[in-house]
A and B are shown apart, each in its own frame.
Chain A
């Protein structure tokens, strides 16, 4: 008996002594940071994924990003659906971004903020890890390889921070010297953008003229998923980085006053934008397409919806914007004028008949539908389609039309596998043109505007190089394109646009669905978004809670950080609201 008792006690003691080790169990399903960066090759691969993560913070990864909201707020898209906050964010008058738990669109707000920081943080983790020699005196096996990785990490970090500075009023400036898991203080968007530009500068500086680094180019296409026809050499890399610099410098402006700041050292330095834009992808072989494939992580989730066949309740284009192309008139009354001069809820879509071949041609809906059955390639025409009327969908009459954006329609038919534009040469040309207009070089600006305006798929009359102001209207007479709401008529009629309007028109037509919030970011700086539209997103409430900071919102009529009345009458008593 005593023996049995002794055995029991022995077992218990053995259990106590041996208990720690059996309780240590590894997670075989997911990695941790040590295993993620275990080898030099892993580190290099990790850094190589930072750009795709930055991409996922804007266009890829989830419908629940800001892109859906950016597009409806900038008139790039119109939808009355609740999905992904499209209907509410596109409502007129503009509601505020309340930024409260479960508020409309808060998932998107959190998504881009978080993902943008994640991409930036991954880049800084890579930069820090590159300092640790793993193979001799280098991290990856050679100085050139180290420097290539460092350049790419700076590039991704710059892109990630730049996108955050575009969308949010504040963000954290992350660096390789941080405690990675700590809460880094928030900085205003100007400071964040300044830091983003520095990282792009660093990326360019490392690559430029460094033979050791250059020897390791071209970059793997897993780093930047370009089509097979594109070589990711140093020239491309530098031009891409410069293009981002140009975009960020111009689009960071929240107001027309900020965007008009042409002095060096101001928030927008057009003297720097112009050379970057001129030396960006505009002079390279083509637009920046990314070869998308959801199975590789390169994905464009939301914009694919716009190309989907079927009901137009997910997507249509605003008649307010499309009307600028229209030249239909009976006597002296343009269809666009009739539309503008109708009370808001009585407006009905009208046919856009325009010489601009980027729109379907024809004077009847049937003809335009037939004309839509053209090439679906990105360089083909038309860019828009007149949909079969059975697919029409009602939304707020201010946005309702019979047109959908159809450029790159083919992209959707292959399960989102294909080349998708995220930055176009036209964007760079127009940014340069805007800079030249703002700095008084009208002829140079006009030349750049005319490239797309007079291209075969547009065929609009060239703007004469003799124009030296932003008052003279574009050519075309009664068929001028664009027409814009006329302040002199209390915005209830239209007039021919001028050089400035033509520049913005080309920008819109050519950049629709070609990047992140293209129309919104430019539109806020031009004053072309409705009164009360939030100029940027607040720091998400989740982040504010973590930091024990008060929640705040932006936008709404009279609300903080909201747009003013702007140039096209998008306010109560102007284009809408009587």
Chain B
């Protein structure tokens, strides 16, 4: 492993200072000069280039060359035989020093530096008032540098998954180009509508608004993560969710000249796991089990039969735009139970077992849909220094086609140019720029997820790749009932043309003014600009097929849309320093910041095309056209003052106050104040410190506040322009609306033992007050609601990281790193009525409950009882023992079996068709007075007989942990990262809803015994007691229940890379080859595609809370091979 050096900010500053102070130390030595030369090397013997070698007393310094060697000359006039200290600093290493006597002539001083494995010397720039050594920072800043990201991700956020304690990064969708959801120390808002819950993203000082996948991860030098309000106070009203600060590479660490780095990675994507589709069926067939029975009016069951494959051909091969009607099944356990005798439904549900094999070949639609596709990532970068100009330039091309047949995924081209220019002795200009162009064909090509929904509705007999004589995929290969859900999902993938093109430019310039003659003042100003434009085309050509006649779709649809985001921010910062005494330093920082951003979007669509293949909107019929647009303009101003006092290098006190004005606040509260106080005590530096094995023991405490701005429209009184131009009151304006205010106390300790082993522990408690919630208003006001500051959340977090560099030798190194975090988020106060919330997806709108004391993310739904105590008296006493009327079955659910029976007697004693019949609602006869079906799970009910809504599990994990292993042996290196999320639940909606059609594999009874087999009704709808026609089965309703809100704990082998360093080939370059895997393996009991799943948006505004497995693009697994070289 090559360790990329850290802390280039400090390095550069020190280097520059050394050069300035020394008046240019690298010069020809005169005869009387003192000339000190030597070699700076690591404790593994590797030379350390770009190390700064300084004699502070003389303000003289030089930088080591590529071989680690240096030569420092001191003019004879300054040589008096005095004692001096030669100090050496290098990024990624602990400082070193040697005392020597300064005499004329040559002397050799070699210095060995030890690796700063715990990054205590690394320079932190995020959240602090001025670039500061990590060891002095009074709060937790997680820093992930390039050495910890040996596996380039498709976007920057996936690269830091499992590397930052307290950061929940959820790749909720596997769609190429998708951005993961991020929560730092838990959710800070109960309602994130229009705002999300993401942290503030900064790239090279530029505040960026989404679109992180536009950034090429290989351009990243390091990522700093500030998780809580205490640390993020510096960023004011937008920082309550924390800050992720990405710093890209620069030439500041480069030696004179130019170095190139080239990397090529080629591989394939697929999907690790399957969705459990049923393999068998319960349809009625003829006596040979070859032909299916059809319903014929007036004729007995099975009077006529048909061949499934022929009927598939017949209804799909019609030249028209839609399939013909399939035959009716007499008993159709599809979306519905239909047939010539539907009135015997109860018997059908109790009599039929899903054990029939399909005639002929069978298929797995998931495996037909998932197909390995290309993953390719090429990059070339150039780092160099020419005189006082340092630069980094790169170009890259990423192709991530995904793993879904017919989809082509995400392609991204990036170009970056970073230039640092020193002008004279006082001015330093840093210019950062990036241009990205990307294309994506996903999004609605899955038809808003319905394609994946339909994928869970494909029976085993269906070949979704079957084409008709015109070469079209069968549009309705599934003959059973269920209407449009039987549409072939692959037809959508193949025939919806979707193309999103994004162009983005990020640019910024920072000018630093450091007067060479004054060390008490410095000034810098920055300006940055971010523009992102996206255009969208979605096209269904004329002739698009559907399962039934749908003229608006069959004749084509077209949508063209564009959206843009333009933001700029500028700041001016002044730092004043003063030494009150030699060991007491003070700093004052003053800043002014301005930010402006505009978000706009337009969309036009129409249908019923005049001609085929023309994607102009004029091709649509005029009366089908619709348009929409939106425009949001946001402005913010910040004023900041901060003071830092540093005493004896071990007591550090800091405070700051920031005054923020925002156009997003209510007009009566345009300004808010945020701030923090913090302290650091480096106890191990005390003279009395008595544990020499512990060389760093830092205690830190910070209390700070930060805010979250409201969504754009929240403050305004709004009349919505509804369909037909009808104006209706929307939200009642609130001129007093304030930002959410997070008050966080963070306490922590950073410990280093034996100069090697590092341990960081942090406790944080945040009260996020003034929750911005949609409060109901009286109906008489006509407005639907009003955004109000009306509640509080409390997040309590424990974080720990342990760094274990077990072996650190030249030929062999082995490091392990553990991280752990645990966050609990509770609603500590609610000033408005309790409410249910969720996402706009069907069935998910009320899956969470908001009330005082409730843990955020708790799923609510129906519960099938699992314990006897859940039955009302006296039935609870007749439960749980052999012979009892109620017993627990082999699925763990309490069921009614009748006295003397067992749950295993259903078939052998012909009990499945019996009921605890109670039409009069007599509570003495049956629990809650409802009729119960034999052996079928029982819903927990309330006094009014209605099923209760009870807590089922929580979407947020109990804790995370991750382990990384980094081993290098000679030319071989291995890096592996395992990331685990424990204790969270996911509502497996795909699994749940597939029960309605008996297409979840657990409806299959093949392999079960007569004692354990269950009829199809066991899995189907709830019972007539609730107005439904089922028996009370697991499908129940559309809403969550405790069968399908399931534990989704997992551990993932997130990254694995084997590398071998070839070295130069034919004397050229320094070659390395690697085998790489991403998301290789998941250990979980979860029954869906991937336990790492969720849906964005909704009330919570983040997929990290909305843990619903609702037909999203499954996560991708990648295998690849990479070649890299540098020269």
Q: Interface on A for B, CB 8 Å cutoff?
A: 1, 4-5, 8, 11-12, 15-16, 19-20, 22-33, 35-36, 46, 49, 52-53, 80-83, 86-91, 93, 95-96, 98, 101-104, 113-114, 116-118, 121-122, 125, 171-172, 174, 178, 180-184, 293-299, 310-311, 313, 344-345, 348-349, 364-366, 369, 388-397, 400, 415, 540-543, 545-547, 556-557, 572, 576-578
Contact B521 A5 (CB under 8 A): yes
In the complex formed, the residue of A with least CB distance to B1039 is A82
Taking a contact as CB atoms closer than 8 A, the residue among B721, B725, B733 that contacts A32 in the complex is B733
Known: A180-B782, A183-B780, A390-B339. A577 touches B920 (CB 8 A): yes
Q: Which residues of A contact B1127 (CB under 8 A)?
A: none
Contact B635 A23 (CB under 8 A): yes
A sample of 9 cross-chain residue pairs with beta-carbon separation below 8 angstroms, ordered by A number, consists of A12-B590, A19-B637, A30-B716, A31-B727, A80-B1028, A88-B946, A102-B846, A118-B782, A390-B340
Known: A20-B670, A118-B729, A297-B724. A88 touches B1026 (CB 8 A): yes
Q: Is B298 engaged at the interface, CB distance under 8 Å to the other chain?
A: yes
Known: A12-B590, A311-B336. A29 touches B728 (CB 8 A): no
In the complex formed, the residue of A with least CB distance to B837 is A102
- Cα–Cα, bound, A102→B295 (Å): 40
Segment with Cβ contacts to A, from B138-146, B661-669, B884-892, B1001-1009? B661-669
Known: A30-B730, A49-B727. A390 touches B1038 (CB 8 A): no
Q: Which residues of B contact A391 (CB under 8 A)?
A: 328, 338
Q: Which residues of A contact B919 (CB under 8 A)?
A: 344-345, 572, 576-578
Minimum CB–CB distance for B733 against chain A, Å: 7
Contact A103 B713 (CB under 8 A): no
Taking a contact as CB atoms closer than 8 A, the residue among B346, B513, B639, B1027 that contacts A15 in the complex is B639
Known: A15-B637, A91-B1027, A394-B337. A27 touches B343 (CB 8 A): no
In the complex formed, the residue of B with least CB distance to A543 is B779
Contact B835 A80 (CB under 8 A): no
Contact B778 A349 (CB under 8 A): no
Q: Is B987 engaged at the interface, CB distance under 8 Å to the other chain?
A: no
In the complex formed, the residue of B with least CB distance to A114 is B779
Q: Interface on B for A, CB 8 Å cutoff?
A: 295, 297-298, 328, 335-340, 342-343, 345-346, 481, 483, 513, 515, 518, 521, 523, 552, 572, 574, 590, 592, 594, 596, 626, 630-637, 639, 661-663, 665, 667, 670, 712-713, 716-730, 732-733, 776-784, 832-836, 846, 849, 860, 917, 919-921, 944-946, 949, 1024-1029, 1037-1038
Residue from B717, B779, B921, B945 whose CB has the most chain A CB atoms within 10 Å: B779
In the complex formed, the residue of B with least CB distance to A16 is B639
Q: Which residues of B contact A98 (CB under 8 A)?
A: 944, 946
Contact B728 A53 (CB under 8 A): yes
Nearest 9 A-B pairs (CB), nearest first? A390-B328, A297-B724, A545-B833, A87-B1027, A121-B782, A91-B1027, A183-B778, A394-B345, A117-B779
Q: Which residues of B contact A4 (CB under 8 A)?
A: 513, 521, 523
Residue from A4, A19, A294, A297 whose CB has the most chain B CB atoms within 10 Å: A19
Known: A30-B720, A393-B338. A366 touches B783 (CB 8 A): no
Contact A121 B946 (CB under 8 A): no
In the complex formed, the residue of A with least CB distance to B1024 is A396
- Cα–Cα, bound, A415→B946 (Å): 37
- Cα–Cα, bound, A357→B173 (Å): 57
In the complex formed, the residue of A with least CB distance to B724 is A297
Taking a contact as CB atoms closer than 8 A, the residue among A93, A118, A365 that contacts B298 in the complex is A365
Q: Which residues of A contact B726 (CB under 8 A)?
A: 49, 52-53, 297
Q: Which residues of B contact A556 (CB under 8 A)?
A: 944
- Cα–Cα, bound, A53→B725 (Å): 12
In the complex formed, the residue of B with least CB distance to A42 is B727
Q: Which residues of A contact B717 (CB under 8 A)?
A: 32-33
Known: A8-B574, A24-B667, A557-B921. A80 touches B780 (CB 8 A): no
Known: A27-B718, A32-B719, A91-B1024. A543 touches B713 (CB 8 A): no
Q: Which residues of B contact A540 (CB under 8 A)?
A: 779
- Cα–Cα, bound, A183→B723 (Å): 28
Known: A15-B637, A91-B1026, A557-B921. A298 touches B724 (CB 8 A): yes
Contact A118 B779 (CB under 8 A): yes
Taking a contact as CB atoms closer than 8 A, the residue among A26, A36, A547 that contacts B727 in the complex is A36
- Cα–Cα, bound, A222→B1027 (Å): 40
Taking a contact as CB atoms closer than 8 A, the residue among A15, A32, A311, A364 that contacts B483 in the complex is A311
Contact B721 A31 (CB under 8 A): yes
Minimum CB–CB distance for B573 against chain A, Å: 9
- Cα–Cα, bound, A178→B662 (Å): 34
- Cα–Cα, bound, A125→B727 (Å): 13
In the complex formed, the residue of A with least CB distance to B718 is A30
Q: Which residues of A contact B721 (CB under 8 A)?
A: 30-31
Contact B1024 A390 (CB under 8 A): no
Q: Which residues of A contact B836 (CB under 8 A)?
A: 101-102
Minimum CB–CB distance for B582 against chain A, Å: 24
Q: Which residues of B contact A542 (CB under 8 A)?
A: 776, 833
Q: Which residues of A contact B1027 (CB under 8 A)?
A: 80, 82, 86-91, 396
Minimum CB–CB distance for B1024 against chain A, Å: 5
- Cα–Cα, bound, A27→B721 (Å): 13
In the complex formed, the residue of A with least CB distance to B947 is A104
Q: Which residues of A contact B483 (CB under 8 A)?
A: 310-311
Contact B670 A23 (CB under 8 A): yes
In the complex formed, the residue of A with least CB distance to B775 is A546
Minimum CB–CB distance for A11 against chain B, Å: 6
In the complex formed, the residue of A with least CB distance to B1037 is A82
10 A-B pairs besides A22-B637, A89-B1027, A184-B780 with CB distance below 8 A are A4-B513, A22-B635, A23-B665, A53-B726, A82-B1037, A121-B780, A122-B728, A345-B1024, A390-B295, A545-B833
Taking a contact as CB atoms closer than 8 A, the residue among B637, B639, B779, B782 that contacts A113 in the complex is B779
Taking a contact as CB atoms closer than 8 A, the residue among A25, A49, A394, A546 that contacts B635 in the complex is A25
In the complex formed, the residue of A with least CB distance to B725 is A297
Taking a contact as CB atoms closer than 8 A, the residue among A15, A182, A392 that contacts B339 in the complex is A392
Contact B782 A388 (CB under 8 A): no
In the complex formed, the residue of A with least CB distance to B917 is A345
Known: A95-B945, A98-B944, A390-B339. A297 touches B661 (CB 8 A): no
Known: A27-B713, A180-B782. A91 touches B592 (CB 8 A): no
Contact B572 A394 (CB under 8 A): no
Minimum CB–CB distance for B914 against chain A, Å: 13
Contact A1 B521 (CB under 8 A): yes
- Cα–Cα, bound, A113→B778 (Å): 10
Contact A541 B833 (CB under 8 A): yes
Q: Which residues of B contact A369 (CB under 8 A)?
A: 297
Q: Which residues of A contact B338 (CB under 8 A)?
A: 311, 390-393
Minimum CB–CB distance for A322 against chain B, Å: 15
In the complex formed, the residue of B with least CB distance to A344 is B919
- Cα–Cα, bound, A398→B834 (Å): 37
Q: Which residues of B contact A81 (CB under 8 A)?
A: 1028
Q: Which residues of A contact B552 (CB under 8 A)?
A: 415
Contact A82 B946 (CB under 8 A): no
